Each structure stands twice: as C-alpha cells, then as structure tokens.
Structure 1
C-alpha cells in the first residue's frame, strides 16, 4: 500500500481507515489498534513539526505486510528529526504535567521497532515495524 498524505491533520482519518483495511485478516483488533496508534502518533508529529502550518508539503507512506510482519515507512522533506535519539521520557512526570503532547514519540517507539534515516536532499525516513500476533 502506498499513500501520499497532505500536510493536514484531517488526513489521519484516511490513514487509519487504510491501515484498518490492510490489516484485517492479518491480526486481531487489539493489534490493529496498537499499530494505528503508533502510526497516528508518528504521522501527527511529522505533520505538526516537519513543515510550516498550511504548507502544501506531503508525506509518503508505504506499508508492507510480509512474513507476519508489518513495516510502515514515512518519508518527508521537512526539518531533520530523529526520534530514536530522544532522551527517554519520564512517563510519570508527563502524566502529572497538564499540557498536550510529550508522549507521542514514547508511544510509537514503544509499540513499534523504529529506525530513522536522513534523506540525502533533506528530510527524514522513519521506518516502523512490528511482528504481528496471529489472528484469533
């Protein structure tokens, strides 16, 4: 599966639907929800931080299902950001703080195996993968 995602948070619904459809029959609903949460958080961070608001930039998303494993690749041309190099978040402290944000990177790096690569002409390639549990 391949999607071109516009720099707009409303695109997240389309991504969630596409992932749900792609994963049905490959794993149970809980597994699907975990994957959707991880991709949603990663993509939200890209849309919010990689590009200026209201820009016409896009994110390329490809999804591969093979050997009971999902691999999601997100490619942007935005500001460099490597989530694998972030200091681990103190979840108890973040829970006490009364502000939006702060746990997205923690969520997607906990739910998926994550790697980052800088694009040669600027931007990022974020690859997330997860072994799928068998369907019930």
Structure 2
C-alpha cells in the first residue's frame, strides 16, 4: 500500500513530513536507528526541493509517496520545479579539510550513503527522485 503526503514548499512543512514518516515507519515496525537514517535522507532531499525547486514561487506542491513491501522501503519525492538531477553532482572529496571543500554536494552524497539506491527521472514536467532502503 502506498502512503502519500502532499506538502507545500515551506520549511515549516518539514514538521508534517516528520509526523508522516514517524507514523508509517512505526506502522512498518522499523527500528529506530533505521528510521533515523531514512529521516535524515528524506529531510535532506525535501529541504533541497523546498529551497531550490521553485525559485521565488510560494505555495508549490511537493508529493512524497512511501511504500513498504518485500523487505524494502521505497520513497518517491515528486515536484514540478526547476529540472535538476542531484545525482549528476560531482562526488565531494571528503579527504579535503572542510575549509578547502567547495560548497554543495555533501547532502546528496550522504543520501546515497544512507539509502540502498537513489534514482532520478524527469517526466511530464516533474522531477522524480526515488530512494529505496533494504530492510533486513
């Protein structure tokens, strides 16, 4: 069964995102550590959509679909914002000292480390980012 949340591109909406995630990960019986990893990845992606997908536009929709089955959690984030594939970002050089690293790219790197798979597509004028996490 797919659970869906619609939010607007406002940082205040993250509270609704956390409530949605907590409700469903609890219903799925996921461990707290796993839930925290998923929350961190989802917060990173949704915050970026809120801040950057709709430049100078308020009251825009972001859709989050979550589905759990066959020991895998799938989360799909969809928006009609500016086309952007975060997976095309250059991998950050984490061996450099923080003061020498360029800004950007660390968030999606973290998301890719936390989740089993992350994919992006653009279809019908929509950005579609899919994150999956294998649950053992």
Does structure 1 retain, via aligned residues, the 8 Å contact 2:75–2:132?
Answer: yes
TM-score normalised by the chain length of structure 2: 0.87
The two structures, once aligned, show a CA RMSD in angstroms of 2.0
Matched residues in 1 for 2:93 and 2:16: separation? 32
User: What whole-Å deviation, never above 9, does each CA across 1:71-110 have from its counterpart, x for those lacking one?
Assistant: 0001100011111221111224373369986421111122
TM-score normalised by the chain length of structure 1: 0.87
User: In the alignment, which of 50, 53, 61 is matched to residue 58 of structure 1?
Assistant: 61
Larger RCO, structure (CA 8 Å, separation 6 or more): 1
Cα deviation for residue 10 of structure 1 reads 1.0
Does structure 1 retain, via aligned residues, the 8 Å contact 2:93–2:101?
Answer: no
Matched residues in 2 for 1:40 and 1:83: separation? 14
Cα pair distance change 1:94/1:83, threshold 3 Å = farther
Say how many residue pairs are matched. Answer: 132
Matched residues in 1 for 2:53 and 2:97: separation? 23
Show the counterpart of 2:114.
Answer: 111
Show the counterpart of 1:74.
Answer: 77
**Structure 1 runs not aligned, ≥5 long:** none
User: What whole-Å deviation, never above 9, does each CA across 1:40-86 have from its counterpart, x for those lacking one?
Assistant: 00001111110024511110110001112110001100011111221
